[in-house]
Amino acid sequence: MNTTVASSNNYFTANLQDLIKYPTSGIISKVLLKDNNSQYSLFCLAAGTEIDKHTSTRNALITVVEGRGNINLEGKDIALASGVFVFIPANVSHAVQARENLAFVLALWEHFSSKKVISQQTIDLVKSTAPILKQHGQKITTRMYEIMFHNYPEVKAQFDMSAQANGTQPAKLATAVYSYATHIDDLEALKAMVDKIAHRHVKTHVLPEQYPIVGECLLQAIQDVLGDAATEEVMTAWTEAYQILAEVFINREQHIYQSALQS
């Protein structure tokens, strides 16, 4: 269950003990208040509940109200008990376990230093490759998957291999890459496409740390297919462009993951 208690437009005060309600199993969360940059939620976990390892693109702060549990931060276990205060920097993996009924306030706020602004030179260079991508896009994405499945065979389990065999997956990715190249200076126009792909990534459990793998293979495929047209300037521009796009997807997917945890 996920309910919003207050709006950030007004001052807000509450007795957290009055808001605590434990489910028989799983999690109940209440959004205490939120605005465009931050969110404060009360999480109530039934004894034995676990939140699997995940990361957030936002800084996080856990303040335990009552109960006992454990949080694992990048392999290090930290005991949770009443009054414990834990700061989790953006993009740090963590998992939570409730040893008994556990209630804590989770504060999330934007990690502004991670945001990047794409350069005009990169925009111009990437847009200049759009005609080539339109002509050779599926050849590039087919090559990308060949490289990725050869170098990182463990990721195959996250893909529909029948869609690889019949070419539909490379075709879809080629369309997405071409759309990005033509709208790199207007990402708002790609919002629907990003949202659709992000939900599919969440369904197949794509993780932030897998984006560098895809980027490495995509850039190599672009270089392989374009040959002499893949100049140093073009590859530098596409490297920057991919990093920006990866951040867009990671941010959207983390919001989807977090919404699922709070529902």
- Report, as residue numbers or ranges, the catalytic residues: 211, 253
Q: Cα–Cα distance between 25 and 137 in angstroms, integer?
A: 48
Element of type H or E holding 71? strand 69-73
Q: Cα–Cα distance between 206 and 187 in angstroms, integer?
A: 22
Q: Cα–Cα distance between 24 and 217 in angstroms, integer?
A: 46
Residue 105 bridge partners (DSSP): 42, 63
Helices 130-151 and 120-128 sit at what angle, rounded to 10 degrees? 90
Q: Cα–Cα distance between 4 and 41 in angstroms, integer?
A: 9
Angle formed at CA 254 by CA 253 and CA 257, multiple of 5 degrees: 90
Query: With b meaning 16 or more CB within 10 Å and e meaning fewer, what string describes 31-57?
Result: bbbeeeeebbbbbbbbbebebeeebbb
